[in-house]
Structure 1
Amino acid sequence: MIRILIAGALLASPAAAFAQGACATPERGQFDFWVGRWQVTPTAQNRVVAESLIERLYDGCAIRENWMPKKGGGGGSLSAYVPADPGWRQAWVGKDGEWVEFRGGWTGQAMVLTGDWPDGRPRTVRMTYTSGADGSVRQLGEESRDGGRTWGPSFDFTYRRAR
């Protein structure tokens, strides 16, 4: 008999593992605080600059973002926890054709993802997502032009549940 251990539960067979959901692990739930339908404002402002729909997909194996700004072009991302190379990955595609791959993980207080932005200038972007006590999510963007030795502000958004 084959036995499989998933998320602390001993299962009798691969079929039982599938029934439990291959992605039903604590690590894959670390980014669930971002899931929802949001109105996005610059932090400390009330002006809505975008709407964003964040969905869990594929039985909890991925999180998809659909970024819809009020002005300019949109884009989206697909994020997932990769157990073979432990950590989170996010692929962003924007309306100008940009493709950015971010890597990172849960720090115990925030999700932090870092990637190189392909705009012709050497620039690394670090995004920190933090859940607020009021149910909001803050996405703080920082950038480095010296390989991560120093960081400066890039963007700062607050996501609030859409009505």
Structure 2
Amino acid sequence: MGILAASLLAIMQQAMLLQGSAAPPAPTPPNPCAAEEFAAFDFWVGEWEVYQTGTETQVATSRIEKVSNGCAVRETWMPLRGGGGSSLTTLDPQTGTWHQLWVGGQPGRVFFEGGPVDGAMVLTGYWGQDAEGRANLVRMIYTLGEDGSVRQHGEASVDHGQTWGPSFDLTYRPKEG
């Protein structure tokens, strides 16, 4: 074996030894938003046709998806008569409170907060005004139906939650095909 071949063999052996002693790559850290508490609103995730509850009157389509590494739920609301809007909902793991920001087709935004209550997601915030100009406190209650639909039932209060009245009632049905 010539000097050049012997030197090349020695270099290759040295390289193989160095490769074998290299530390294995660090494991991927666990996803902090894969914890069970971040799944409390997953029943709403899907592609939906939205109807006035109890009717065959479709008012919108809606896409609900997990985003931001599973740390948030985003709705893209597409009413049949234009306008549209989006919400982004996430859990604050330090307080256990869910927060939603809604931005619709008109200027402004609405903040809701709440969390799971008896198998439903309940979010409350101030949205709009009544005929006398008083701020409406709105409570939205999302419940999963036995048929896989999701009901979003809204109630409004003009006395800071002492009394509540119906505001809206929608049923999200899984989009076909």
Q: Aligned partners of 1:125, 1:108: CA distance in 2, in Å?
A: 19
Which runs of 5 or more residues in structure 2 are unaligned?
Answer: 1-25
**Structure with the higher fraction of residues in helix conformation:** 2
Task: Report how many residues are paired.
Answer: 148
Which residue matches 2:10?
A: none
Q: 1:89 aligns with which of 90, 95, 99?
A: 99
Q: Which runs of 5+ in 1 are unaligned?
A: 1-14
* TM-score, normalised by the number of residues in structure 2: 0.80
Q: Which residue of 2 aligns with 1:155?
A: 168
RMSD: 1.4
Shift of 1:22: 1.1
Runs of 4+ aligned structure 1 residues displaced above 3 Å come to 118-121
* 8 Å contact kept, 1:99–1:118: no
For residues 65-80 of structure 1, what are the structure 2 equivalents within 5 Å? 65-80=75-90
TM-score, normalised with respect to structure 1: 0.86
Q: Alpha-carbon deviation of 1:46?
A: 1.0
Of all paired residues, the percent bearing the same amino acid is: 53
What is the CA deviation profile of residues 21-77 of structure 1, one whole-angstrom value per residue up to 9, with x for unaligned ones?
Answer: 110111100000000000000011112110000010011100000000011411110
Indicate the SS of the match to 2:34.
coil
1:33 matched to 2:46: no
Which of 50, 55, 63 aligns to 1:45? It is 55
Letter in 1 for 2:43: F
